Amino acid sequence: MLVVICGSSTLSAVSSMNKMVKNVNDYFFNGDGQYTNQSIYSDIVDKTVIASNLVNLSKNYVSGNDEHVKAITQAINDIEVETSVSKLYDLTSTLDTNVNWLLTELGNTALNKTDNDMLIKYQSQYRSETNTINSSDYNTKVRNYDNEVSGFPGSIFKIFANKAEYFE
């Protein structure tokens, strides 16, 4: 009887934790549901579109074989298929590093007026998406989850539950 009670309690606790992790992950991928396009993931996707636009803009000024341009393209492709929050963070960091290089390179290049206007537009959009992501409270939600399940016996049940990943 005691084994059944312990087993049932463990399953119930793990199920509850998994539901909490699902809510945290849903927030990352789908937002809070109150607004459209308010998830970190949708902002990352928006950044990949802007980065792709920058790569297209740069074709007349920077070699397509440049390592930074290749890294941007690879990060865009990898982000499209990645589902791990922490790996998306790493890919976004790689994208940011290489996009910042490209923005600097294009900023130091004599562009025609139309391309210069597009560069200013893309740079503004990219920075806006970055600021939106950086101001998200997603990591706070993960931290709250971790704090809620960190004590005894939660820390034991947590071993069996799904993990909530930080975006950092």
Nearest to 154 by CA among 21, 3, 5, 17: 17
Q: What is the dihedral of CA 59, 60, 66, 68, to 10 degrees?
A: -60
Q: What is the dihedral of CA 73, 164, 16, 30, to 10 degrees?
A: -40
Question: What's the distance, Cα to Cα, between the start and end of the chain in Å?
Answer: 44
pLDDT at 154: 67
pLDDT at 9: 63
pLDDT at 36: 56
pLDDT at 160: 67
What distance in Å separates the CA atoms of residue 119 and residue 117, rounded to the nearest whole number? 5
- Residue environment code for 52-81, b if the CB has 16+ CB neighbours within 10 A, otherwise e: ebbbebbeebbeeebebbebbbebbebbee
pLDDT in tens, the chain (168 residues): 555 555 566 677 778 888 888 888 888 899 877 665 589 999 999 999 999 999 999 999 998 789 999 999 999 999 999 999 999 999 999 999 999 999 999 999 999 999 999 999 999 999 999 999 998 888 988 898 888 777 777 677 666 677 888 888
pLDDT at 34: 67
| Sequence-separated (6 or more) residues with CB below 8 Å from residue 149 | 17, 20, 155, 157, 158, 161
What distance in Å separates the CA atoms of residue 92 and residue 97, rounded to the nearest whole number? 9
pLDDT at 43: 95
